[in-house]
Structure 1
Amino acid sequence: MLSDLLGHPDTSGAIAVRTGLPQSQVSGDVARPKDAGSIVTEPDPAYARRQLIRRTPDVSEQVSEIRASRIDDALATALGTDDPERLREAAEALDVLARHLTPETVGRLRPWYGGGAGW
């Protein structure tokens, strides 16, 4: 959801259409970064019942902490090892995925996984 928001500033419920996620999930996904101060919502002046969603211009303290943290500890826990070579390989694989899995590419998966959560 956040990557969709980055590609479509001042968006609204169209996130659900573009990502194939149920509107209820998008609403929940919006609430968490809003609570963390990463995004803001405001009424759409063209349609008061709709909320516009945008990134905040300033990075919240929580987001700064997350960005400053290293993934090594989380990977070591997930992989059950602190072997530097395995951690490097896993981090490189995640970098490749992050470069290639955009909202558009994930949207192509919708027929494959049924468009719902839990795939």
Structure 2
Amino acid sequence: MNGVELFLLGRTLMKIGEEAMPTEGLREYSTSVRSVLIVASDIVENPGSAVGEIATRTGLPQSRVSGCVARLREAGAIASEPDPADRRRVLIRQAPDASDRVDLVRSTTIDPALAAALGTDDPDDVAGVVASLETLARRLTPGTLSRLRPASGRSRTSARD
């Protein structure tokens, strides 16, 4: 496998993941699932951040981060509080307790979306691919990306790329 094949596999996996997200009862949003997940991940890794800081780290426009934060707040996934050092800023962190929406997202399996993408109804085939993905997920966590970054701590790419 080369870098292009890996990149395309990653894109395919992201699309399957987006398809697996439960959407029942949700209204239309201007923010994509991908952007929301990027912002949510950054908030978990960097609790107590302001929108501008999240935008800088993720490479997403500040307006998109603000939209994602609003969506995450509506879902009960985050909490915010005024910055004690600057009351004009709001600091964002993961909500202490999971909301019903967060619980639903966490409990929904990828099996139906994966079966559709694979074009199979064979549960053993789907289970085999899920097991492979679970192995990759354990080995390649978001934290492993830090080993790819140059010594300066800056990534060669951003979330926009």
Structure 2 contact 111–126 (Cα < 8 Å) conserved: no
Range 73-82 or range 49-58, more displaced: 73-82
Instruction: Please state how far the C-alpha of 1:61 moved relative to its aligned partner.
Output: 1.0
The match for 2:53 is 14
CA offsets 1:68-106 (integer angstroms, 9 cap, x no match):
221101222333333332553256336525753527839
Range 90-99 or range 31-40, more displaced: 90-99
Following the alignment from structure 2 to structure 1, what is the Cα–Cα distance between the partners of residues 67 and 138? Answer: 22
Structure 2 contact 78–93 (Cα < 8 Å) conserved: yes
Unaligned runs of at least 5 residues, structure 1: none
Q: Per chain length, whose mean CA-contact separation is higher, i.e. which structure has more relative contact order (CA < 8 Å, sep 6+)?
A: 1
Following the alignment from structure 2 to structure 1, what is the Cα–Cα distance between the partners of residues 138 and 69? Answer: 20
Aligned residues: 114
The match for 1:40 is 79
Following the alignment from structure 2 to structure 1, what is the Cα–Cα distance between the partners of residues 86 and 125? Answer: 53
Unaligned runs of at least 5 residues, structure 2: 1-38, 147-153
TM-score (norm 2): 0.58
Structure 2 residue matching 1:50: 3-state secondary structure: strand
The match for 1:74 is 113
Structure 2 contact 80–91 (Cα < 8 Å) conserved: yes
Percent identity over the alignment is: 44
Regions of 4+ moved over 6 Å: none
